[in-house]
Amino acid sequence: MALDLKQLLTDSGALLEGHFLLTSGRHSDRYIEKFRLLERPAALDAVAQAMAEGIDPAEVDVVLGAAIGGILIAGAVARVLDRRIMFTERVDGRMTLRRGFELQPNGRVLVVEDIVSTGGSVKELLEVVRQAGALVMQVACLVDRSPGGLEIAPPTKVLLRLPIASWPPGECPKCQEGIPLAQPGRSGK
């Protein structure tokens, strides 16, 4: 049975409408609060299974995600593949490995991301892997909400493409309507 992620997002109350400030600094009229989905163990397990599908565990040494939302997803995918999990954190605005995590040179990494809006966080994760001399085997994303789709070099698997408009603050129609701006769970970029 195929995963109907859009239905899961809707049923869990994760797909919100209003006026939102995104991590990128842009504004949007829709927001995906991934934790409404990820707080449900059965949904998290289904997402992890779908992300891991088709990936040969023998080709991956580490599953890498970004704090905070990426930790849950990366951990679940790592459990399915029976591989180690690592996550990055922001230190002075820069994505970095902490807590004794080290990627090995030529180590094979599956990068896991939750919601992609501009692709900035994915690119930062790829840079962390590159700087360690490790190899990105694949990128797996929960939702790509970017208008044009995520365009990066490694093979990429996206569970749901859901283009959602966003605007620079000065061009935001919700601002022009005077609708208050909500700042849901931001990553602190």
- The domain limits of the chain are 5-176
Cα–Cα distance measured from residue 51 to residue 64, given in angstroms and rounded to the nearest whole number: 13
pLDDT, one tens digit per residue, over 124-134 is 999 999 999 99
- Helix orientation angle between 69-81 and 41-52, rounded to the nearest 10 degrees: 60
Cα distances from 184 to residues 22, 27, 34, 118, in angstroms, run: 8, 12, 11, 17
For residue 139, the cross-strand partners are 111, 156
What's the rounded mean pLDDT across residues 86-110?
Answer: 94
pLDDT score of 151: 77
What's the rounded mean pLDDT across residues 77-102?
Answer: 95
Q: Quick one: CATH architecture of 5-176?
A: 3-Layer(aba) Sandwich (3.40)
What's the rounded mean pLDDT across residues 112-120?
Answer: 85
pLDDT, one tens digit per residue, over 26-36 is 899 999 999 99
Of the candidates 51, 53, 47, the residue with the CA atom closest to the CA atom of residue 14: 47
pLDDT score of 106: 96
Q: Give the pair of three-digit tokens for residue 175.
A: 């601002």
Query: Residue 70 pLDDT > 80, yes or no?
Result: yes
Q: What is the pLDDT confidence band of residue 69, given thresholds at 50, 70 and 90?
A: confident
Taking the complete model, does pTM exceed 0.85, yes or no?
Answer: yes
